[in-house]
Chain A
């Protein structure tokens, strides 16, 4: 392609883009005028006047919308980071089983991965919520000397309370994401040359020692990018919290929109929230990646 043509093409694309943005802004203004609300954030200081079942910090309905949003944020972070850890742990185990020598374990993990990836996350969340936790009776089974107590209210573990909603979301997100992480781990392991396996085996190292000392360190550079994108997916998927009634940032924004009609402001808040969260995750992962590369002077 000639330079002229290139510039012309780029110019055309710019015009189309600006046109689309113009239409969007136009719609926005029309909507704002129609609702008669105008565009401002002063309502953030007014009392939220709705209750929240789950709040890691003190909260009452007379607290402001801002405080409600912060609680939503904390709830989101809580479920995202605990799912992230659990999903990584599960995914790593299943990824190992998938690549390991044991044929039965390999088959089971392959089945797990297939089933989890072939069903919608929403369905899985509903399953964990209605079948997994609400299915339990009032104060049923395991109650070991008041230390560990499972019921339809959730799980109480030595003074810490986890609601059914939180646990259903945690299970759903972790298990769903773990199937994808398992595939990332497997891909990373397969990216290490066969000769490395033969070398550690011929030295008498056990499979697990070889995996930890030889294979995983070399697989990490291939694993980290895939892991990052799964973490980002997990963060975005956490907004399905609303389906099981967990008060995450998205659910709280939804309630606020219903109460105040401030849809545009709320969407901006949501957008910025997730942008920041995903930037945080990406940056942490990049840092980890850099640390790994630094510890490997050879590369």
Chain B
């Protein structure tokens, strides 16, 4: 079966000379979970944002769900990709002027032209999956961070995506709120969702991921199964990074 994500030699510079992505290649197969780790500024966000066209790249090629994009950033193809790929952000980015349910039904109704009633039924189902259906009529600022992030996951799921991208989904949360979000993500992985997750949550990476990709200065330093990465990382830089994480 064709992989869900294939990146070949992705290279990108925001400013001349400084590479945010440097020849990054990777593959994510259907139903697999790839965790991306690396120090701050190493290009993790830039990398996963290229997957749904939020960032362009200068060189290389990307194939998402069989749709190939290159540095020309074909808007029509990117639009097609976005309809099949969900994304969850560090800062949740819920729409503050819409109710929780409206946040979730907006895209299915506007993009997929589904009927409002149908979208709402599906939205309520997703909210109950996330354990927050009682908040459907509330507004984002009435919810805790953990609840907002679970709404954001439900919103990303509303388009029935074939790939989910997470950019540090728990980094903005209070420590006691982190697990409710990680548990929701675990459940998705168990249901066979293909996911790319930027996170520093070691236990999540150990339990859920199939592989860990370590990025530094825009370069892939190593890609290893989690048991190897966390006990016996191949590269000095990975080990240093993990030591640093342990201390914090």
Contact = CB atoms under 8 A, between A and B. Distances in A.
5 contacts: A195-B93, A200-B95, A202-B85, A213-B110, A298-B96
Interface in B86-114: 86-87, 89, 91, 93-97, 106-107, 110-111
Interface string A197-222: 01111111110010001100110000
A218 B54 CA distance: 21
Interface stretch (B15-23, B117-125, B139-147, B194-202): B139-147
**Which residue among A203, A205, A209 has the maximum number of chain B CB atoms within 10 Å of its CB?**
A203
Using C-beta atoms within 8 Å of the partner chain, give the interface range for chain B: 20 to 34
B95 A204 contact: no
**Which residue among B82, B110, B141 has the maximum number of chain A CB atoms within 10 Å of its CB?**
B110
Interface string B121-151: 0000000000000000001111000000000
Contact of A201 (B82, B110, B139, B156): B82
Contact of B89 (A198, A205, A213, A298): A198
A203 to B, nearest CB: 4
A18 B83 CA distance: 70
Interface of B: 52-54, 79, 82-83, 85-87, 89, 91, 93-97, 106-107, 110-111, 139-142, 155-156, 159
Interface of A: 193, 195-196, 198-206, 209, 213-214, 217-218, 296-299
A201 B165 CA distance: 14
A172 to B, nearest CB: 37
Nearest to A220: B97
A196 B82 contact: no
Contact of B52 (A202, A209, A217): A202
Nearest to B53: A201
B93 A213 contact: no
B93 A217 contact: no
A203 B97 contact: no
A195 B89 CA distance: 8
Nearest to B102: A213
